[in-house]
Structure 1
Amino acid sequence: MFKSLNRQSSVQMSSPHASSINTGEPNASYSKSERNDWTNNPTKHYIVQIGEYGGANPKFFDMYARSTIRKRKLPQENLFGEMVRNYESTIFNSPEKNSLMHLNSLSRLDVVIHGYRNFPIDVRVVNRINDEGKNVKARKGTLIPASVMAEKLVAMGLRQVGVLRLDSCNVGTGEYLYELRYALRALGVNVGYLAAPNGYLGVYHHPLTTLRPVYHWKFWDKHWTVIKGNLSVEFFGTRYTSLFCS
């Protein structure tokens, strides 16, 4: 899923500051100092790790979360992870039925999970016998359909969120975001924007920015796919505006 920063990449830059929001009132706008959303209030930014096994090296998810804490000052109580069931030493907290109930249109949720060919996947390491009769370790994955992903988030209390970012390698290149939007809407969840990377997502942010790199061979293509949900909300200065999404 993840890539380190030991190679060059091309990354689309954007400012993290939002400046206006559509609240249902004509021409509603706010200065940065008046805003109280995920762009300037880290308590409104959450991370959820999906997958009970955490892949071959569950510590990658902890490294990912610690990088976000350093760059965006998230409180640790905003981190929830399914791998807590099998990896007790993780930085993530155990998800409960009310973990995400406080999110609203001004919140952001990053859902982190391994990706495989445009699909999120829960990976675990198993023992098997190879052709030579030797006991070796192998990886076994379970794909997470959009309907299952939506059910997992709803089970944690999600009812509304301004930005839902699926940090899962290559998932932005397929139809998964559209399927997830439909599945969430069917369960009554309101979302402003859904996003996913179109390549391999870095574990760490770029050293001097709050941006996480995306690596892919088509450097001229978009690094992220962003689609609009059913909430009317704008985060100008970021990629999450109706001007830059489908």
Structure 2
Amino acid sequence: MKKYKYILIAFALILLSIFWANEIWTGWVRHYEIFAKWMKSSKVHYYPWYLWLLAGGIIFPLMNRFFEKNIKIIKNATHELTHMITGMIFLQRIKSIYAEEQGTGVVWLYGNNFTHLLTDLAPYCFPIYTFPLLGLRCLCLPTLYPVIDVIIGLTAGLHIICFKEQTSSQQSDINKHPIWFSFIYIISVWLFDIALITLSYLPKLNIFLSFKLMAIDFWHVITAIFA
């Protein structure tokens, strides 16, 4: 990909990052307002979802510490699986895939420069387990929310550790593109992930409605700019 294309995409990502950050702020303000109403009146229903997510998020690092060898295989397999899944999403043809215990692996894909960019950087910012589970949560009874939220927290803990350990300028996926661009892209998608998860836990929303809400908000911003 030519340098000017990286610059244009990076500029768009920076603008999107500002939008994602605003969505995160809006979501947490709304969560705080609900919490404040619950503190003032016992009649207001409040579900402390973040405590269950935190519980799962704490459990996984402990598992990572005591079952390091097994978890290492899972982390490496997750990395390569993310390449494969995002490649399939963007209609790339998969040539081969393998992952090794030592922490190495590779996925060969056929596609254009732009789809390669998306699949190259996906393992550093796309939570392939967390988002599907948030979709599954829509089908659960409220009594099962603590169980599914702990599991979601576990997957979030896995992805956070994977992102932390694997994101490096030494990674071939990252340095095959300009390193400054790769990190702008990764941070932008991180903000998108946080915004989508934050909004998904608002009352009467889920991951699908949250994505729709963010799309509508983005459209309102665009129309306001060009009005």
Which structure has the larger Rg?
A: 2
Higher helix share: 2
Q: TM-score range by the shorter chain?
A: under 0.3
Determine which structure has the larger strand proportion and give its number: 1
Question: TM-score, with normalisation over the residues of structure 2?
Answer: 0.24
